[in-house]
Amino acid sequence: MKFHNLIWSLLISFLFVGSILAQKPVTTLITNANIFDGKSEQLITGQSVLVEGNLIKKIAPSIKAPKGAEVIDAKGATLTPGFIDAHTHLAWNLGVSEHFYAPLDYQYALNLAEAENTLMRGFTTIRDVGGQVVGTKRAIDEGYFPGPRIYSSCAAIGMTTGHGDFRAPSVAPRMMGGPSETEAETAGLVMFADGVPEVLTASRMQFRKGAHFLKLFVGGAVSGMYDPLDIAEYSMEELKAAVGEAERWNTYVAVHTYTDGSTRMAIEAGVKSLEHCNLLEEETVKLAAEKDVFISAQAALFMNPAPPSFTPAQVERQQMAKEGLDKLMKACKKYNAKVLFGTDMVASMESKKAQVTEFTLRKDWFTNAQILKQATSGNAEALELSGPRNPYPGKLGVIEEGAFADILLIKGNPLEKLEVLLEPEKNLLVIMKDGKVFKNIIK
């Protein structure tokens, strides 16, 4: 009987899979669109885009609709690639102390809710640089919930008393008799590692969890409890251990850093992506540019009001970082550094609504076209650093034949007026990710 049931189960599974494979890919034709392709300075007017399955099949002034295709008349709206946010924390939707007490399944439910919010703001891809989101990613990829593509570092790796260490001063590290796992580690935000052997183990554990790259804290922090903004964290030996492990996995290391000393050390160790960097000297920006190291800068994090959960000390450090931002961005422009578009919105789902303000807050330093390139093809270039660990091998951040069909239709022209992106509910007319339409309010 058991064998009989097994045969029937296998047959049903085979027929189910076969029916899926036999289904024709969904075809969508978008007509009368003005295209920002992710790279050009000007719109390409009067174009049609044919999407077959999850890829852009054809781009031309006029395309005959295939039989059965869904046709969307853009009516002159601007068609762009889906936006990419290179610095997110999808799992950080609560204040620090709340994370320690909120049930994990509640936190994961918030992840899914915020994933949909993120997609509805036009971000079809995110790079998550510290948090437990691989399960969220899987649920989205399998079609159970709406949300962006996710590139994840899993937990960020940090040292005792460094960024991410929210333990009470009386709590000893585990090698000195402390708990084997802390609340922050249980929540998946950070993993503590001191010394080369622990850094190697922590790095390997992130890859065991499914990380696509590694994230290390190597400098002081705005939101930290014990680490002032001016300090350097991790030694050269520890940094090289993480970089070497990432290279053996054919991927890379991104680091949280603010100060010049910690950043130069990270560059010399072989790190490929520098997060924040507000307090850098010009020569270090020049060095990053010469070595093709990405600078993942943020404006919204520092120029918007601090989250309500921030302490007075954290607010003060946020102001210090804000004051260094202008110098950093000007140096990046001077040396043509590769600047990524990231937001780093944390601590509450309400504060994350300010994600879209990153577009307009960069206007003091960059043109509208430069900002849109950063949020599309520029960020996509950094995602490719994950090599064979890339969960979505293919073209992202561009409107090209053969690219993934991550597409937005926008009311107005963001090349002329970025402010249209501040109201995604009204001005994002169509949101398509992987060839599937998640929003269409064109009338």
Stretch 392-416: mean pLDDT, rounded? 98
User: Which of 74, 50, 81 is CA-nearest to residue 407?
Assistant: 81
Band the pLDDT of 314: cuts 50, 70, 90: confident
Residues 325 and 78: their CA atoms lie apart, in Å, by 31
What is residue 410's predicted lDDT score, i.e. its pLDDT? 98
Q: pTM for the full model?
A: 0.91
Band the pLDDT of 183: cuts 50, 70, 90: low
Output the domain CATH number for residue 32: 2.30.40.10
Residue 102 included in any domain: yes
The H or E element spanning position 84 is strand 83-88
What is residue 286's predicted lDDT score, i.e. its pLDDT? 97
Q: Are both 222 and 302 inside the same structural domain?
A: yes
Residues 388 and 298: their CA atoms lie apart, in Å, by 28
Three-class secondary structure of residue 48 per DSSP: strand
What is residue 70's predicted lDDT score, i.e. its pLDDT? 96
Residue 377 included in any domain: no
Residue 346 included in any domain: yes
Examine the fold and report which residue of 349, 365, 381 is the final residue of a domain before the chain moves on.
365
Residues 426 and 423: their CA atoms lie apart, in Å, by 6
What is residue 185's predicted lDDT score, i.e. its pLDDT? 63
User: Which of 406, 403, 410 is CA-nearest to residue 427?
Assistant: 410
Residues 201 and 214: their CA atoms lie apart, in Å, by 12
Token duo for residue 15: 């027929």
Q: Are both 100 and 55 inside the same structural domain?
A: no
- Are the C-beta atoms of residues 73 and 32 closer than 8 Å to each other? yes
- Are the C-beta atoms of residues 76 and 47 closer than 8 Å to each other? no
Examine the fold and report which residue of 365, 389, 411 is the final residue of a domain before the chain moves on.
365
Lowest model confidence (mean pLDDT) among 200-209, 222-231, 369-378 = 222-231
Stretch 395-414: mean pLDDT, rounded? 98
Q: Are both 88 and 32 inside the same structural domain?
A: no
- Are the C-beta atoms of residues 275 and 254 closer than 8 Å to each other? yes
Query: Would you say residue 361 has pLDDT above 90?
Result: yes
Residue 382 included in any domain: no
Lowest model confidence (mean pLDDT) among 166-170, 212-216, 327-331, 374-378 = 166-170
Question: What residue numbers bound the domain in which 188 lies?
Answer: 83-365
Residue 386 included in any domain: no
pLDDT exceeding 70 applies to what percent of the chain? Answer: 89
User: Which of 92, 167, 87, 96 is CA-nearest to residue 310?
Assistant: 96
Query: Would you say residue 23 has pLDDT above 50?
Result: no
What is residue 8's predicted lDDT score, i.e. its pLDDT? 46
**Quick count: other Cβ atoms within 10 Å of Cβ 95?**
16
Q: Are both 222 and 88 inside the same structural domain?
A: yes
Residues 51 and 70: their CA atoms lie apart, in Å, by 10
Query: Would you say residue 263 has pLDDT above 90?
Result: yes
Examine the fold and report which residue of 365, 388, 414 is the final residue of a domain before the chain moves on.
365
Q: Are both 342 and 298 inside the same structural domain?
A: yes
Q: Are both 78 and 89 inside the same structural domain?
A: no
Q: Are both 72 and 129 inside the same structural domain?
A: no
Q: Are both 65 and 119 inside the same structural domain?
A: no
pLDDT tens-place string over residues 129-153: 999 999 999 999 999 999 999 999 9
Residue 35 included in any domain: yes
Q: Are both 142 and 281 inside the same structural domain?
A: yes
Residue 340 included in any domain: yes
Three-class secondary structure of residue 113 per DSSP: helix
Lowest model confidence (mean pLDDT) among 49-58, 97-106, 113-122, 199-208 = 97-106
Q: Are both 39 and 132 inside the same structural domain?
A: no
What is residue 438's predicted lDDT score, i.e. its pLDDT? 98
Domain tally, the chain: 2
Band the pLDDT of 115: cuts 50, 70, 90: very high
Q: Distance of alpha carbon 12 from its chain centroid, rounded?
A: 39
Residue 30 included in any domain: yes
pLDDT tens-place string over residues 25-42: 689 999 999 999 999 999
Residue 212 neighbours by CB under 8 Å, 6+ apart: 151, 152, 153, 251, 386, 389, 390, 391
Helices (H), ranges, 102-221: 104-120, 134-141, 183-186, 196-209
User: Which of 205, 221, 206, 227 is CA-nearest to residue 160?
Assistant: 227
**Cα dihedral across residues 349, 350, 356, 357: positive or negative:** negative
Query: Would you say residue 443 has pLDDT above 80?
Result: no
What is residue 170's predicted lDDT score, i.e. its pLDDT? 62
Q: Are both 130 and 95 inside the same structural domain?
A: yes
Stretch 13-35: mean pLDDT, rounded? 68
Higher pLDDT, 322 or 398: 398
Higher pLDDT, 167 or 208: 208
Q: Are both 179 and 279 inside the same structural domain?
A: yes
Three-class secondary structure of residue 71 per DSSP: strand
Output the domain CATH number for residue 111: 3.20.20.140
What is residue 6's predicted lDDT score, i.e. its pLDDT? 47
